[in-house]
Structure 1
Amino acid sequence: MPRKVMKEVLTAVMNSLADGLLVTDEDGYIILYNQKAESLLGFNGRIALGELVKNHIKNEVLVGLIDKILTLHLPFHTEEICLIDIGDSRLRVHVCPVKDENGLLIGSVTLLHDVAQLTALDKIKSNFLAMVSHQLKSPLGSTLLQTSILLDGMVGELNEKQRDLIQKIKAKTKGMVELVNDILDVCFIEEKGYITQIESLNLSETLQKAIEMMQPQLNDKNITLKINVEEHIPPINGNKSSMEAMFINLISNAIKYTHSDGMVSIELSKNGQYLQLKVADTGIGIEEKDISRIFDKFYRERSERTKNISGTGLGLSIVKGVVDAHHGTISVESKVGKGTTFTVLLPVN
């Protein structure tokens, strides 16, 4: 097929895509695009072709994602996924590095999907979940308190059978309370409740507080905790409660999927213009087929390995929501039977 015909066919194929497509070289110059990308991002492709992406794409978040992919030079494959608002559109942005056969970075590719309608439907669902969760929180908390009173013997001694039954009721009620709290956290993040509560945060202090809260769980499984926090960590602007939730869920997840007498490692350091958090464990690991879905709401691996591990399936979804809300990124590396490492990058400014 003649080269000119091949180019026309390629252009026709790209312009028939429902999603926007934008490709840059390793220096950030636009080398390929389709009509949908022009429409969603509001740039003139003919003028922008061969020009720096930052000179024609006015959304700073998107330009920042592309720039991050091109400048970090991470040794492993990574990608950036987030939601950005442009005009009346809400776009799901997916930015990936492009590498040659030798693994050298040669550019980036960005996919843009308009999720405005889906976002509206999701908001209705979130509002419903928040309403139901608020209604459940009070009676569940009351039930948990009353079962504790019974188990403490404050209203009379219990026989062994009665104690066993009430302990099971308390455990199930506690699980429901955790689910309700997780749902409320998800709704808080999705409704952008953090926007009005931004402050300067010392993540070293926030991390230490989270570790203190998780210490009983570590002790219960005799898990060794290894902490490495770099000195003089710069503060970041963020929401305090959301950051605490991110730390707690990452640490809790590591403990939950690590066998007794295992190890959890936490590292907090500066990486260029980002703060880097690594939470690693020596746990059961994640199967490759599940990695792409672990940040989905209510998703949990269903297998013999996890059947006795309780959870709501919302912890990592909360973590992803917090990271996205603070314009950061999260990646995961895992080997079955060896353990898992979550890496979070948060912009200092």
Structure 2
Amino acid sequence: RLITENAQQIGGSNLAERLPVVGQDEFAGLAKTLNGMLGRLEDAFRLEQATTQQLRETVEQQRRFTADASHELKTPLATIKAHTGLLKMGELPEEDAESVGAIDTAANRMTGLVNDLLILARADGGSLVAKTANVDLMEAVNEAVCAVSPGGVDVRPAPRPLVVEGNAEAITRLFINLLDNAKKYAGTDERVEVRFAKRGDTVEIAVVDHGVGIAPEHLSRLFNRFYRPDTSRTSETGGTGLGLAICREIATAHGGTIEVASTVGKGTTFTVVLPLAST
């Protein structure tokens, strides 16, 4: 009975408990064996706790470094942009104009990367959707279309209203990234489509292109940070490998999901599912 009572007290938070060893019979031998196993299990459990805590601290340090470094880079980048803007306003020799243009392009890419890193740092810190409000999805999508240039994008009619609770800036950024990605890889004369479908208390938003498509072996990793399925093609289009990772973080932060389906040579569809705001 004493062994039973002690055994019932053993758990993940109380692995220091040991079974009493009384006498020299087979129960005593079994208790010794179990105590030895408990000792090894306790050591492993404590090591796991320490490792987990260390990983948490490392992740937090990385998040803070990313956020701090990104903030520090914003000021010099803004200064570079201001100077190149002034230089472009004046009359420059062709060679100098090309150099200024190259600097301006590089600064734009760096600014985009810094903004992406700041978004991911906020996502890692759980503050991506710190302030929420009702967001009209049609307005968010239309803003995104204007941001990437409206030419070549068809927004299909949608049932109204389609309102979600969240951060309007983040949701707009989600669709900017998806549309920008679709326009880069769509065919030259192909149009990108945005379709809406209401499913119960959720809404599906599909961004469809009819471009080159994505090979099946890349699909499961598309939303990983810095993953680029075609580095040569992506370097030409200026991608960082963070756009789709940001899309997933934004969708997840709003209680939603994002999925991809693609056929090589026919195109790609990214589908975002978000919960509708309660009425």
Contact 2:138–2:162 (CA under 8 A) maintained in structure 1: no
Deviations 1:41-83 (A, max 9, x none): xxxxxxxxxxxxxxxxxxxxxxxxxxxxxxxxxxxxxxxxxxx
In structure 1, runs of 5+ residues without a counterpart are 1-38, 40-114
Q: How many angstroms apart in 1 are the aligned matches of 2:166 and 2:183?
A: 26
Q: Which has the higher mean CA deviation after the structures are superposed, 225-234 or 182-191?
A: 225-234
Q: Which has the higher contact order (CA 8 A, sep 6+)?
A: 2
Distance 1:137 1:230, change over 3 A: same
Specify the SS of the correspondent of 2:237.
coil
Q: How many angstroms apart in 2 are the aligned matches of 1:337 and 1:150?
A: 43
Partner of 1:139: 76
Partner of 2:148: 214
Contact 2:129–2:254 (CA under 8 A) maintained in structure 1: no
User: Does 1:123 find its partner at 2:60?
Assistant: yes
Q: How does 1:232-271 map to 2 (within 5 A)?
A: 232-271=160-199
Alignment RMSD, CA only? 2.0
Report the AA paired with residue 279 of structure 1.
Answer: V
The TM-score normalised by the length of structure 2 is: 0.76
Report the AA paired with residue 212 of structure 1.
Answer: C
User: Does 1:227 find its partner at 2:155?
Assistant: yes
How far the C-alpha of 1:117 sits from its partner, in A, is 6.1
Q: Which structure shows the bigger proportion of residues in helix conformation? A: 2
Partner of 2:100: 166
In structure 2, runs of 5+ residues without a counterpart are 1-11, 13-51
2:208 to 269, 277, 280: 280
Q: How many angstroms apart in 1 are the aligned matches of 2:276 and 2:116?
A: 27
Partner of 1:175: 109
Q: Deviation above 6 Å: which 4+ runs of structure 1?
A: none
User: Does 1:320 find its partner at 2:248?
Assistant: yes
Report the AA paired with residue 139 of structure 1.
Answer: P
2:127 to 189, 193, 196: 193
How far the C-alpha of 1:343 sits from its partner, in A, is 0.6
Q: How many angstroms apart in 2 are the aligned matches of 1:284 and 1:116?
A: 44
Bigger Rg over Cα: 2
Aligned length: 228
Distance 1:228 1:117, change over 3 A: farther
Q: How many angstroms apart in 1 are the aligned matches of 2:147 and 2:235?
A: 26
User: Does 1:338 find its partner at 2:266?
Assistant: yes
Partner of 1:12: none
Q: How many angstroms apart in 2 are the aligned matches of 1:120 and 1:346?
A: 32
